[in-house]
Copies of this chain bind each other. A is one copy, B any other.
Amino acid sequence: MLAYSRCMADLFKALADSTRRIIMDELAQRDGQTLFEICGRLAMIHELAMSRQAVSQHLAVLEEAGLVISRREGRYKLHHLDTAPLREIAERWPQTHTNDQGTNQ
């Protein structure tokens, strides 16, 4: 029905890597970045020195999971975040009543 939900496995697998989660943070903060921009900001801001190809593969995984959507713009490829698939997570497991909210003991 929806384009982004190929299967839930892809979603969780995409979220499993910390670098990919940081890339999602980056895109949440500044939308429509190119591969090179993301590479640069990972290195600068997050001190993640990583080959361009590694980041490209991460973006492919995120896109496969529907968490990132990309569009070509000339020789640039702009990426932006889509958090819609995340809603499936909250919907899958009903909220549990843990009473360690107020009782700090």
- Residue positions of A touching B, CB distance < 8 A: 3, 8-9, 12-13, 15-16, 18, 21, 24-25, 28, 80-84, 86-87, 89-90, 92-96, 98, 100
Contacts of A94 in B (CB 8 A): 28, 83
B93 and A81 contact, CB distance less than 8 A: yes
Q: Is the interface of A mostly helix, strand, loop or mixed?
A: helix
Q: Which residue of B lies closest to A18 (CB)?
A: B9
Cβ of A85 to closest chain B Cβ, rounded Å: 10
A83 and B96 contact, CB distance less than 8 A: yes
How far is A80 from B96 in the complex, measured between Cα atoms in Å? 10
How far is A89 from B67 in the complex, measured between Cα atoms in Å? 13
